[in-house]
Chain A
Amino acid sequence: MTSLVTRSDRRAVRARPGRVPWILVVPALVGLAFLVLPFVGLLVRAPWSTMGARVTEPEVLTALWLSLSTATVATLVSLLLGVPLAWMLARTEFPGRRWVRALVTVPLVIPPVVGGVALLLVLGRNGLVGRYLDDWFGLTLPFTPAAVVIAQVFVAMPFLVISVEGALRGADRRYEEAAATLGAGRVTVFTRVTLPMVLPGIGAGAVLCWARALGEFGATITFAGNFPGTTQTMPLAVYMAMQRDPEAAIVLSLVLLLVSLAVLATLRERWVNA
């Protein structure tokens, strides 16, 4: 009883917050509308009557499958390479570390098309590295599903690295010291203490990375081309459909939107709030 009384008392005497200033509210609402309205447009203009038939067209399903599988593989590759890279940046000292850190973020700021061109110059059949891949292993990367993955890793991995590096810097390093006094070498410390403790950060980074890979367009179309069935991912399919059949583009967009929202919601529940 007493606690209830004091609580209501406290509420009664609490100072009223000032009015919310319109100079902040108006731009906030405009911003929100700007972000939401395009999706409303998609929903309003969608050809709902023919939706079922259009969604199950083999072309759509192929592009969807290619998008989901390449984005997932790209995320796995990014995890495999990006987490150790983040660890290097957060936990080791080496000359030029600041420069390396800056280089890692370059793919975040350059236009993806430029990234695609750069990849072609390096990994193309006559590229710096691609030449030898072709000569020695008979391996040609451009215009294959592997090229799609490479393009996605190039643009998406920095998101993962930045996110994981932040998590590593935020983690209490004294736990790593505690593990060391218990006889754990650096690899054991990393796998059994550091990794479990920054798992939420890695999860959040992986989600960002996956979402960025799923939406990849510029680097993909430049480096991997636009071949239905092998390199035409959903974003490319949407763009192509827009040229000849805008309704099909709307359907594809809705599918992409739904799938990514569903996956992100599931992962968010599981990782980001952990």
Chain B
Amino acid sequence: MVDRSAHGPQTDTAPTDAAPIDTVADGHRGLDADLRSTRGSFTLDVRLSCPPGSILALLGPNGAGKSSALRALAGLVPLTGGHVRLGGVDHTTTAVEHRPVGMVFQDYLLFPHLSALDNVAFGPRCQGVGRAEARERARALLEHMDLADHVAARPRRLSGGQAQRVALARALAVRPGMLLLDEPMAALDASTRVAVRSRLRHLLEEFDGVTVLVTHDPLDAMVLADHIAVIEGGRLVQEGTPAEVARRPRTTYVARLVGLNLFRGRAHGDTVTLGEDGSDTTATVAVREAHHGPALVAFPPRAVALYRDHPHGSPRNMWRLRVEGVERFGDQVRVHLEGPLSLVADITPAALAELGLARGEEVWAGVKAAEVECYPG
């Protein structure tokens, strides 16, 4: 917020890459939540923690339960188990209107019958702040967000980016300990996203409480958040910094989001045998460092080289694969390959022309062991 110092300490109880163990410690000043609820056939079971001054992104496909998790944090949907603690205080059963939470909704949901100023002043007024003081607080927040010219505007007169900032100001005006954002970028058109995203990041950095945002867009998560929690099917499948998630995805969903080929297997020294249980051991991947036990291997599509004939002095990883499809991908061509393992390779249009690939043809695909990331699975 406007009048507070920018960053809280980042060090206390940072979430680990592996499944989070109990991070409840005395004097935990951030968010510690264990969200469990069952609605019909859908079960949500997610543990989240986030230190103050830090931004956590819940990333996942549609229907994964990330919005449900956010709504549970806000108190909008009841939990059937677990807890929500913020700053060491238990808020599991606190009513929505009494939670120290500010929320930015998808589509922003600014009250259409109130001006931008009255939208922002709404929260403080509900908290019992006097009219003049509430409006003064609202004005200061809007001015801070470069909206001084729009205080009197009705929401429908605002652009998407402006509406987003009014919604953010409205959520911050209640001086929350935790800021929740539900798909904050979804209502914006593509042309304004880049500018709005970096501006939002800047404004979120000023907030010294816990920030949790929900998105299905990996780019939003990477740019806006310090930590990413990936949720699939109501469960937490991966947690880590954006760099960790981008480099070492743990599920095919995450791998596809960050654009990597991902395989699961068992490591024996510097060789990984693919396949979950070792029964259909038709492919192996050589990696640069020795590992043992269940392992994940990942490499980017551009690390894959394709050859018509088996090359001399070849890389250690060489597979005979069948072309399943070819599509444009930016200024590259993405080739989908099937065989003992299925992967995608990005090559230049010139290379494609030279190879003369067609669907159903077989090629050699090679990847250097140095390009392969291997980590415990």
Contacts and interface: CB of A to CB of B under 8 A. Distances in A.
B112 A197 contact: yes
Q: Size class of B's contact patch?
A: 20 to 34
A180 B74 CA distance: 10
A178 B97 contact: no
Given A175-B109, A192-B122, A193-B111, A182 B170 contact: yes
A174 B77 CA distance: 12
A181 B126 contact: no
A180 B113 contact: no
Interface in A60-117: none
Contacts of A181: 74, 76, 96-97, 99, 101-103, 171, 180
Interface residues of A, number: 17
Interface stretch (A41-49, A142-150, A183-191, A260-268): A183-191
A211 interface: no
A267 B176 CA distance: 43
A174 B105 contact: yes
A179 interface: yes
B126 A174 contact: no
Interface string B103-125: 10101010111000000001100
A180 B127 contact: no
A197 B113 CA distance: 7
B347 interface: no
A174 B109 CA distance: 7
Nearest to A188: B126
B76 A177 contact: yes
Nearest to A180: B96
Given A174-B105, A177-B76, A182 B113 contact: no
Interface string A191-229: 011001100000000000000000000000000000000
A49 to B, nearest CB: 52
Contact of B122 (A177, A184, A185): A184
A185 B97 contact: yes
A192 B111 CA distance: 10
A193 B113 CA distance: 8
Contacts of A172: 109
Interface string B81-113: 000000000000000111101110101010111
A178 B105 CA distance: 7
B174 interface: yes
Interface of B: 74, 76, 96-99, 101-103, 105, 107, 109, 111-113, 122-123, 126-127, 170-171, 173-174, 180
11 contacts: A177-B109, A179-B111, A181-B96, A181-B102, A183-B97, A183-B98, A183-B123, A184-B97, A184-B122, A185-B97, A197-B112
Interface of A: 172, 174-175, 177-185, 188, 192-193, 196-197
Given A175-B109, A175-B111, A185-B126, 13 more contacts: A174-B105, A177-B96, A177-B109, A179-B122, A179-B126, A181-B76, A181-B171, A182-B97, A182-B126, A183-B97, A183-B123, A183-B127, A196-B111
